[in-house]
Amino acid sequence: MDPNLLTLTQWLSPAYPVGAFAYSHGLEKAVHQGWISDGAMLEAWLRDVLSEGSGKTDALWIWQAWRGDHPVAELDAMARAWSPAQERLREADRQGAAFAKVTAEVWGLDLPPMLLPVALGAAARQMGMEPEQVAALYLHAFAGNLVAAAQRLMPLGQTAAQGVASRLTPLCTDVATRAGEMTLEDMSSTAFLSDVAAMRHETLEPRLFQS
């Protein structure tokens, strides 16, 4: 077995200390607005986010950081400029800084603080990991975290939640593969309602999540 697979699984585990549990990526506001109220609506929302929104762009940042065609600091600056909402930027910034700190210390990598997908791609490059696998597992963990957040926000049982996560698995693989065929010129995001939810979450009170 490739030991890198176990390392990657560790990096993307809910137990890895990046604080992913504290963020809903705007999902909390979407539930509050009534845009998501059951498992089917959650699955449809996450499909759009993964295939047309921040899931796709994050996968592209991972691939670009892994390729090394641009300095990671330059990619990080572009990724920050691309963020559609203040809380989205904070979410990726804080998780990325935590990921970089722990990963650099444990594995001895050269990894300054960066947004999470850029930091992950840079770390994967230094470890010789397969980028398609890295992007796919990242998207799977990202979707799993949002499914877990939904369970705290609306009536969604464990079996139904796992069903949603399972049905999203092939999409995670597909998006990761397609991102590997793209360049920075292909960067785009059309999951507009997800972006609106992230923007409106900034004024939501009370709230459970930071985004």
pLDDT tens profile 3-40: 899 999 999 999 999 999 999 999 999 999 999 999 99
Provide the token pair at 83.
């963020």
- Please indicate, yes or no, whether the overall pTM of this predicted structure exceeds 0.85: yes
Q: Are 120 and 15 in contact (CB under 8 A)?
A: no
pLDDT of residue 10: 97
Q: Which residues of the chain have pLDDT under 50?
A: none
pLDDT of residue 64: 97
Residue 59, CA atoms < 13 Å, CB-side half-sphere:
34
Q: What is the mean pLDDT of the chain?
A: 95
